[in-house]
Structure 1
Amino acid sequence: MLNLITHDAIIEINLARPPVNALNVDLLRALRDAVDNAVASGARGIVLSGQPGMYSAGVDVPSLLGRDRDGVRDFWREFFQTASTLAMSPIPIVAAITGHSPAGGAVLSLFCDYRVMAEGPFKIGLNEVQVGLVVPESIQMALRRIVGAYRAERLMVAGAMIESGEALAVGLVDELTNVEQVVTRAVVWMQGMLALPSNAMLKTRAIARADLTAIWAHPEALPMDGFLDAYFHPETQAVLEKLVARLKKKD
């Protein structure tokens, strides 16, 4: 599910769950463990990459649909814990967005320090509303701190998926390059960070990210019941069932 690649003091965690790196419980747990292990092993930076053309298609909806409330709660608990692990990482993380990155894939990138995306007709966005899901405040806040309050509202309420060029223009990503160079550019950016005086860089980073870490330090305390109520709303279930039906026709 993951490929681990060493670039000197930088560990690349490459998502490798064909065909689209959909996020299920096993992949989320593996990602969380990989981040923790990288930190414990002395890595000074992490690059989180996907496959050429696809970073992550987000939540594995077919595996989620049909679960009872406890099963759905277990999944979202894993998702929020993984987001927390990224947000709370004591070392910098770069998202190497190697292609399309809807919904959960885009969410993971919000907790990274920097985002390099493949240029071209690749799309990114929090399109949860389009599939009937509510974007919780803890994730809305993560987007607001990157693109600003008004732009975040417009993107999330519409469930907009935007191409890489627009994503750069609004600040959702920091840099574009051709798809073959995304990881290379992510590593180069990280090398620049690691060339800085470490104590000053890391402590300044911690201060700058204090708003994010204050919310995500205790993911188990995030309000879950309201989110679950919205997930099980009849409208949401109907939209998700239609989505899964479309996906099955493509197979």
Structure 2
Amino acid sequence: MLDILLHDGDIHEIRMARGPVNALDIGLVEALREAIVGAPANGARGIVLSGAQGMFSAGVDVPALLQRDRAGVRDFWNAFFALCGALATSPVPTVAAITGHSPAGGAVISLFCDYRVMAHGVYKIGLNEVQVGLSVPEPIQFAMRRILGGYRTERLLVAGAMVDAEQAHAIGLVDELATVEQVVTRATLWLADLMKLPPKAMLRTREIARADLVAVWGDTSNLLDPGFIDDFFAEETQGVLLALVARLKAKH
């Protein structure tokens, strides 16, 4: 489900390896959180989060989520929020090595990293939740506003828009583009340059700069709006999600 690779300079790469598309079920979400929380204790001075070439993560495993009852759905989203919180509060810098397409949950995870390197070309990224009948909770909107500003975030989220890598770079949703083969390399080089700086000064400045994110995401235990769970089970959302699953099955 996860591969942990070590790079020079105490950089740990956490690579999602849940075939075929790194769909986020509760097992992968919890494994990611545990790996991110545990990496610094295992000597990591920086973390790269990556996926398969061509697909960073296809987002939430909708077929699996639809099989869960209300308590199970709530448990999944609380686990997902805890994963985002672990990235937000990581004591070491993190980079999302976006190795391909990154819709919905994949894009959300990247928002909490310090830096985002994406494969250029045909790949797309975006929070397309509205397209599949889901609203975007305020804490996630906050994380995106922090990067893109209020108006651009509103336009993208309300439309459920997916943008290609070049547009994502132009608007600041990702920081750097590379060939799909070089995304992880560029991510590790960015971290390596950061680690050449005086560590106490760099980490303290980073802590100050990310204090607004930590203020919202430092404790995720009560961050999930119960209304979001109600919306998930609403007739409109269930209908759209079931239709999505039917289309996915028809392709295979």
Q: TM-score range by the shorter chain?
A: over 0.9
Shift of 1:232: 1.2
Query: Structure 1: which 4+ aligned runs deviate by more than 2 Å?
Result: none
Shift of 1:230: 1.3
In structure 1, C-alpha distance between the alignment counterparts of 2:251 and 2:202, rounded to whole Å: 47
Aligned counterparts, 1:150-165, within 5 A: 150-165=151-166
Shift of 1:223: 3.6
In structure 2, C-alpha distance between the alignment counterparts of 1:36 and 1:249, rounded to whole Å: 38
Which string of whole-angstrom CA distances, capped at 9 and with x for unpartnered residues, describes residues 61-114 of structure 1? 000113211010011111011111111101000000000000000000000000
Once the two structures are overlaid, the 10-residue window that deviates more, 226-235 or 47-56, is 226-235
In structure 2, C-alpha distance between the alignment counterparts of 1:44 and 1:22, rounded to whole Å: 27
Q: TM-score, normalised on structure 1?
A: 0.99
State the match for 1:7 in structure 2: 7
In structure 2, C-alpha distance between the alignment counterparts of 1:188 and 1:66, rounded to whole Å: 41
Letter in 1 for 2:21: V
In structure 2, C-alpha distance between the alignment counterparts of 1:95 and 1:222, rounded to whole Å: 23
2:95 equivalent to 1:124: no
In structure 2, C-alpha distance between the alignment counterparts of 1:243 and 1:86, rounded to whole Å: 29
Shift of 1:224: 2.8
Which string of whole-angstrom CA distances, capped at 9 and with x for unpartnered residues, describes residues 26-60 of structure 1? 10111111112211112100000010000000000
State the match for 1:243 in structure 2: 244
Letter in 1 for 2:65: L
2:19 equivalent to 1:18: yes
State the match for 1:146 in structure 2: 147
How high is the sequence identity, in percent, across the aligned residues? Answer: 65
**Structure 2: 5+ residue stretches without partners:** none
The alignment covers a number of residue pairs equal to 251
> Are the aligned partners of 2:137 and 2:225 in contact in 1 as well (CA < 8 Å)?
no
State the match for 1:224 in structure 2: 225
SS of structure 2 residue aligned to 1:94: strand
CA RMSD after TM alignment: 0.7
In structure 2, C-alpha distance between the alignment counterparts of 1:14 and 1:165, rounded to whole Å: 24
